């Protein structure tokens, strides 16, 4: 029987009871490890983290906690090859795709380690300058931020077992808030191994970083008023979470990143044979195929001028035909598998749904898989659709297929009240009811700035690309720690990262109204960050 991974709670390694759930290789079907959270004393786990670990973390200054993050980065880098091997076995990713998750997590940790070092040896942060409350200036108010005295619970998705952990844990730990992570069961191995390595190295106070593998049953019942919960997953599950008494009655904080039908817009000037056109084609193909399209930020809808539709489809099909699919251990493979056969069935169902109103322009499944049995492997080849009437379409704007699938639709070029010829494309992008990211491609930098503002109200991030930044741009789907990650509406309404903005979720803001001398003392023991 395969190894049963242990959970780390209340500063101890504890195996869940029962046979647990077996994690498998999504390419070969081989059993890897088992996970179980049955029988854990969750009340003790949360209490220990909240009280013992929380007090120990808050006793450290921001700079001291930042130094611990830097130590974690060094540790993870030393064990990088181990993590790549787990990712290949458990997630079915190529080495390049594993880097997006593993190296991306380390980069985010490193960024917050450097950012935290600049906050200094203080235990609280000032929020803005003091303001006099009376005419004589003797009585003032100073807003301060102090770490919440609770636990940060992360309920994570299956697609980023490394980055999904560290992009949340870095600002939480830097803030002085202990972390309990519940990774998605299908790919929990990598998260568990990383936590184990950090815990065993003794870098953090006992209980500051815990991991629970297996079922999430009972976790929300432990949440109290000053705890915070961050969820990444489906909008349907998020809706259920929002109804829990922890949030409705106790007022605990909940951050949600949910479904997102992200868009890419080819601007009216970016016609074939221009540099911006080529950048659009390259980015759509990359976003369809990196991690087999299993990214919450991947391009799902591409809007192009009517006159460029056929040229766009021809260029995309030519590039997609070069994508080899199969076993990521074979160097000839450019795209690996989905994370499980369950996800494989979900993607096939999504493809079938889109075919009800869209035309399949490219189906990569005609090519045989490399070193993989199609009856076992969770491999799906790229599928490209075209929707000729996006105004009448509904599934285009409502169905997110979490795999290597995208749809292209034409828009009418014509100026709106702001003089933007992409007004129709903007309206179509907004049909996604709130998205994490939209990218826009033009040969005119100034035009990109005007168009970005038109999209800002319905997107958490706008990625504007012209030939002037083709070598330095970070990619439509890459989430950088300096930038906001999240989005309104269907995308969950949450916010993560964005530099120091991420720390706000883990702090409580208080207005201190006091004599001038008291405010002066307070200012000497806090730091005023530039947000």
Give the contacts of 115 (CB within 8 A, at least 6 positions apart): 66, 174, 499, 500
Count of C-beta atoms within a 10 Å radius of residue 448: 21
CA-CA-CA-CA torsion sign (217, 221, 227, 229): positive
Pair of tokens at residue 143: 């807003």
**Distance from C-alpha of 12 to C-alpha of 138, rounded to nearest angstrom:** 52
SS3 call for 201: helix
Counting every residue, how long is the chain? 531
Helices and strands, number each (H, E), in the chain: 16, 23
257 included as an active-site residue: yes
Give the contacts of 111 (CB within 8 A, at least 6 positions apart): 170, 481, 482
Q: For Cα atoms 154, 156, 159, give the angle at the middle one, nearest 5 degrees.
A: 155
Alpha-helical regions (H) of 243-337: 245-248, 275-289, 309-320
**Distance from C-alpha of 334 to C-alpha of 93, rounded to nearest angstrom:** 9
Tokens 């940060």 appear where? 152
Using an 8 Å Cβ cutoff, are 143 and 280 in contact? no
Annotated catalytic residue within 296, 379, 422, 496: 296
Which uninterrupted H or E stretch holds 418? none
296 included as an active-site residue: yes
**Distance from C-alpha of 400 to C-alpha of 404, rounded to nearest angstrom:** 11
Annotated catalytic residue within 167, 213, 257, 379: 257
Supply the Cα-derived Rg of the chain in whole angstroms.
Answer: 24
Catalytic residue IDs: 257, 296
């Amino acid at each position: 029987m395969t190894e049963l991974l242990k959970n780390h709670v209340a500063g101890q390694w504890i195996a869940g009871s029962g046979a647990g759930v077996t994690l498998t290789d999504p390419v070969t079907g081989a059993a890897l490890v088992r996970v179980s959270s049955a029988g854990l004393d969750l009340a003790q786990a949360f209490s220990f983290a909240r009280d013992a670990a929380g007090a120990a973390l808050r006793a450290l200054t921001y700079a001291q906690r930042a130094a611990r993050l830097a130590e974690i980065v060094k540790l993870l880098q030393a064990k990088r090859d181990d993590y790549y091997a787990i990712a290949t076995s458990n997630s079915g990713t190529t080495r390049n795709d594993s880097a997006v998750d593993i190296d991306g997590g380390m980069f985010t940790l490193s960024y917050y380690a450097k950012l935290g070092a600049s906050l200094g040896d203080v235990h609280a942060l000032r929020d803005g300058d003091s303001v006099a409350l009376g005419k004589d200036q003797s009585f003032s108010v100073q807003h301060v931020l102090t770490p919440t005295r609770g636990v940060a619970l992360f309920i994570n998705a299956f697609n980023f077992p490394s980055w999904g952990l560290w992009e949340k844990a870095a600002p939480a730990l830097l803030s002085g808030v202990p972390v309990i992570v519940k990774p998605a069961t299908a790919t929990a191995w990598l998260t568990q191994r990383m936590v184990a390595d950090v815990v065993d190295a003794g870098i953090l106070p006992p209980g500051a970083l815990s991991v629970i593998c297996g079922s999430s049953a009972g976790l929300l019942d432990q949440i109290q008023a000053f705890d915070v919960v961050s969820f990444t997953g489906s909008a349907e599950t998020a809706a259920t979470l929002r109804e829990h008494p922890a949030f409705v009655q106790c007022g605990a904080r909940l951050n949600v990143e949910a479904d997102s039908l992200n868009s890419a817009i080819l601007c009216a000037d970016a016609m074939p044979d221009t540099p911006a056109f080529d950048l659009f084609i390259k980015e759509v193909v990359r976003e369809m195929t990196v991690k087999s399209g299993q990214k919450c930020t991947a391009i799902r809808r591409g809007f192009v001028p009517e006159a460029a539709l056929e040229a766009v489809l021809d260029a995309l099909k030519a590039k997609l035909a070069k994508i080899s699919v199969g076993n990521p251990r074979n160097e000839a493979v450019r795209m690996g598998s989905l994370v499980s056969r369950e996800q494989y069935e979900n993607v096939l169902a999504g493809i079938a749904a889109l075919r009800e109103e869209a035309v399949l322009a490219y189906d990569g499944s005609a090519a045989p898989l490399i070193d993989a049995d199609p009856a076992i492997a969770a491999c799906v080849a790229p599928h490209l659709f075209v929707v000729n009437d996006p105004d009448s379409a509904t599934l285009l704007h409502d169905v997110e297929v979490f795999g290597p699938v995208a749809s292209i639709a034409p828009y009418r070029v014509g100026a709106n009240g702001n003089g933007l010829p992409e007004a129709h494309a903007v309206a179509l992008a907004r049909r996604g009811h709130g998205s994490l990211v939209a990218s826009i491609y033009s040969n005119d930098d100034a035009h990109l700035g005007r168009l970005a503002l038109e999209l800002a109200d319905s997107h958490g991030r706008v990625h504007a690309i012209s030939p002037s930044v083709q070598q330095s741009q970070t990619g439509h789907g890459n989430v950088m720690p300096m930038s906001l990650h999240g989005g309104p509406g269907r995308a969950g309404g949450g916010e993560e990262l964005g530099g120091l903005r991420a720390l706000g979720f883990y702090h409580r803001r208080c207005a201190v109204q006091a004599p001038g001398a008291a405010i002066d003392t307070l200012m000497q023991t806090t730091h005023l960050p530039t947000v």
